[in-house]
A and B are shown apart, each in its own frame.
Chain A
Amino acid sequence: MRVVNEFTKGLWREIPPFRLVLGLCPVLAVTTAAKNGMAMGLATTFVLVCSNVLVSLLRNVIPRKVRIAAFIVVIASFVVIVELMMQAYYYPMYKILGLFIPLIVVNCLILGRAEAFASKNPLLPSLADGLGMGIGFTLSLTFLGAVREIVGNGTLFGMSVMWSSYEPFSVMVKAPGAFLCLGVILGLMNWVSTLQRRRG
């Protein structure tokens, strides 16, 4: 039961970019299209799950004083693995995401989960936590990318979805669009939560 709970909290109650407001650098930078957001989310999920598992397994071995250094080494290793894999099997996406793949190392979501959760909990809950948070992160990035792509470019996953005379707001796929979009989503989520609380 607890494991299920740890998994689902990442999907809504603590959905990373919108609730914890963690790991915003890739959230803002790569969500110019749904596909990019999804790829970034999946790469982050892989690193998050692997690092959570390993940190949880090593939690009694790693001395407290050097725990952050140890976490970073673990995370960085998985990031390099993702980077090499992406270069080898999905080169076009590697070119799009470019610098933001190595930057997963400093994504505070991953270090945050390692420090706040995996280093204090056994294997199974840590795995569930990583998976839930990762999927939540992926969904958020895909959603944000989809909204920006539809409004800013008139397409979704590269396919045209708007009527033919639709004039795209190209500001949405540029940097300010990321802030606008994120702000609106945060506002909507807070509004929904307030409504729920009033009813409850």
Chain B
Amino acid sequence: MVIVLALICGCSGLVLSFTNQVTLEQRENQLLTYVQGPSIQSVLSGREFDNDPIQDRFTVALGEDDQGDPVELTVFPAKKGGETVAMAYASSGVGYGGEIDVMVGFDLEGDLTGLSIMTHAETPGLGARIEEPSFTEQFRGLEVRKGVQLSQDGGEIDGVSGASLSSKGVVSAINKAADVFPKVKEEVS
């Protein structure tokens, strides 16, 4: 009785791990296309390009974290005629309700081509308004090499009113992304 049941469970495990292996790559592709894809398209939309940034993605090693594990960043390049004209990659900052994941696009000079908020847990109606174009469009074309700041700290970005922590989270995500830009650009050229 126990043997039969164990055998059935064993076979099931075998079949499932096999299916998992076989579909792994395709599932990753689908996730990229349907979850990150729209964000990537939107942050790169200001530039003309003729490739598929998801298909041409590559990873950049960013050194190691505190535990000594390697940190990698997936970069989605936008190319025209084989030449990279812009690139998009994900970044994150801590807002009021938790992590805010954003997708940022940079051109070769390191100016922002766009910003798209992917996931967040901010308060609906307040912090969640960081998703609105009136906030995100301020970043398009912004020069970020020296860092971005909110207007309340003497910077050029008007935060969402009543949600300074959320706004700061986004700004810190952008600054984080700007910090790694030189490394990413090295890989591109």
Residues of A near any B CB (own CB < 8 A) = 58, 61-63, 65-66, 69-70, 73-74, 76-77, 80-81, 84-85, 87-89, 91-92, 95
Contact of B27 among A69, A81, A88 (CB under 8 A): A88
Q: What are the residues of chain B within 8 A of A88 when measuring CB–CB?
A: 23, 26-27, 30
User: Which residue in B1, B15, B31, B33 is a CB contact (below 8 Å) of A66?
Assistant: B1
CB of A84 within 8 A of CB of B27, answer yes
Contact with A along B77-110 (1 / 0, CB 8 A): 0000000000000000000000000000000000
CB pairs A–B below 8 angstroms (12 shown): A66-B1, A73-B5, A74-B12, A80-B16, A84-B19, A85-B19, A85-B23, A88-B23, A88-B27, A91-B31, A91-B33, A91-B34
Known contacts: A70-B4, A91-B34. The answer to whether A81 contacts B9 by CB under 8 A is no
Q: How far is the CB of B6 from chain A (nearest CB, A)?
A: 10
Contacts A87-B30, A92-B34: A81 and B8 contacting too (C-beta < 8 A)?
no
| B26 pairs with A89, CB closer than 8 A | yes
Return A67 CB to nearest CB of chain B, in Å. 10
Number of interface residues, chain B, beta carbon within 8 A: 17
Q: Is the interface of B mostly helix, strand, loop or mixed?
A: helix
Known A69-B5, A91-B33; 13 more pairs at CB < 8 Å: A58-B8, A63-B1, A63-B4, A70-B5, A73-B9, A77-B16, A81-B16, A81-B19, A87-B27, A87-B30, A88-B23, A88-B27, A89-B26
Q: Is B20 an interface residue (CB 8 A)?
A: yes
Which residue of A is nearest B30, CB measured?
A91
Residues in chain A near residue B23, CB distance under 8 A: 84-85, 87-88
A58 to B19: give the CA distance in the assembly, Å: 22
Q: Give the contacts of B21-69 with A (CB-CB under 8 A).
A: 23, 26-27, 30-31, 33-34
CB-nearest residue of chain A to B34: A91
CA separation between A89 and B29, bound complex, in Å?
10
Rounded to whole angstroms, the CA-CA distance of A73 and B12 in the bound complex is 7
Find out whether the CB atom of B5 lies under 8 angstroms from the CB atom of A80.
no
Across the interface, which residues of A come within 8 angstroms of B26, CB to CB? 88-89
